Amino acid sequence: MRRSGDQERPQPATVAAAGSTTALPIAVRQLSKAYGAVPVLDAIDLDVRPGEFLTLLGPSGSGKTTLLMAIAGFLRPDKGSIRFGEREVVRLAPHKREIGMVFQNYALFPHMDVARNVGFPLRLRRVPVAEIARRVEAALELVQLGGFGGRRIDQLSGGQRQRVALARAIVFEPRIILMDEPLSALDKQLRERMQIELRQLHERLGTTTVYVTHDQREALTMSDRIAILDRGRIARVDTPRAIYDEPGSRFVAEFIGESSFLDVDVSGGVARAGGATIRARQLPVSHGRCTMALRPERMRLLDAGEGEDLNCFDARVTGVIYQGDTLLLQTVLGDGSPVALRLATGGAAARAPAIGAAVRIGIPVEDTVLLADEPGARP
Ligand code: ADP
Ligand code: MG
């Protein structure tokens, strides 16, 4: 964000000045790529909104990197179109796409110091030397490496190197930023801190960003929207909350968060599962079989008389696992279906039932998720 007092400075004064006013939408249409007979991208349609942080999430091999490389221009698709704003770019060389990229392995030049690494895209663009110095320092400030310009790359930690790579990606004010698993080489604590930092940086820059990860928690933490890839197709695009609360399919429910699944029989508009009648906001089928997904942290361990607005089951405890922040209670229903509960620890944990105990468990009707998938239908 530029303050009003900065207006008369020569342009561009800061990296952040690029801002959301020039953010570009990305429109991917019917994009396909095959290696031999194997389709890796299968008629992908995807819209990224201007200034949006969109994450491509999917299991290994689902096509995330291939799709990102096609957007960057390093991979020529067999078919389809990619537009940045009004401009068709599918045949445009990568360096003409004005994209900032960050990879997992940093891809820094080890023999250059930090400032020369970050200034590299500006030297390529023949920006005057004095302006390079100013913009490099501004970019380093943004990634919290102000004053590090003279350091050698091998004097930096992994997190600092990734920040240098990030500064290099934003220093020329790209219209689009693409990142492929940029945090996966970092340890868990640093990764979680960098997720927040990257998100905050995105909010300051407002640049349209496509981010790749296979880590569902990372995707939930950082994204405006998540596109879930399943074997070269987009299974779902939505906000983190919508995807988590209304996964819509068993694949998505399994991939995002934890779930237990029950087979549901629907007949005459009445759903039954695990020996109980199930109330839900809506039934995905009016007759036949479907699947109920139960999130462990939405499950309740009930006292006698409780259960008014809940779908309730009789269960037996098969495991009690203390995990610090939560207690994982494993149970089985009368028909043998396993159902897990995640309970808050503290006072309540001390009263946790013992293995073998008969318990009554329930899930609020509003958290009850029924999926159209037939039991065991997924190949
Ligand atoms: P992800 O990034 O989601 O792990 P990729 O996009 O890297 O997946 O790969 C998707 C699929 O395409 C994988 O099955 C992979 O083996 C295949 N693939 C990727 N690149 C090539 C290539 N150059 N030649 C043949 N197969 C490839
Ligand atoms: Mg990949």
Model pTM?
0.88
Ligand 2 centroid–CA 60 distance in Å is 7
- Structure tokens given for 206: 């407002």
pLDDT band at 133 (very low <50, low <70, confident <90, very high): very high
Residue nearest to atom 25 of ligand 1 (CA): 35
Ordered structural domains, the chain, with CATH: 4-98+174-245 (3.40.50.300), 258-372 (2.40.50.140)
Over residues 151-178, the mean pLDDT reads 93
Please tell me the residue having the least CA distance from ligand 1 atom 27: 35
Q: What is the mean pLDDT of residues 261-271?
A: 94
CA-to-CA dists, residue 318 to 174, 233, 362, angstroms? 54, 38, 17
How much is the average pLDDT of 109-123? 94
Q: Which pLDDT score is estimated for 308?
A: 80
pLDDT tens for 225-238 read: 999 999 999 999 99
The confidence score (pLDDT) of residue 345 equals: 85
3-state secondary structure of 228: strand
* Range among 20-24, 182-186, 361-365 with highest mean pLDDT value: 361-365
**Which atom of ligand 1 approaches the CA of 67 most closely?**
6
pLDDT tens-digit series, residues 194-224 = 999 899 999 999 999 999 999 999 999 999 9
- Element containing residue 170 per DSSP (H, E): helix 158-170
Q: What is the pLDDT of residues 10-19, one digit of tens each?
A: 333 344 444 4
Q: What is the tens place of the pLDDT at every residue in 20-45? A: 458 999 999 999 999 999 999 999 99
Of all protein residues, the one whose alpha carbon is nearest to atom 1 of ligand 1 is 61
Q: How far is 358 from 154, CA to CA, in rounded Å?
A: 59
Within a 10 A sphere around the Cβ of 70, how many other Cβ atoms?
A: 23
Q: What helix, strand, coil percent values describe the chain, rounded to 5?
A: 30, 35, 40
* Residue 270 to residues 281, 283, 289, 343, 363, Cα–Cα distance (Å): 12, 9, 11, 30, 18
Say yes or no to pLDDT of 8 above 50.
no
Q: What is the mean pLDDT of the chain?
A: 90
Q: Identify the nearest ligand to the CA of 184 by its number.
A: 2
Q: Which ligand is nearest to the CA of 64?
A: 1
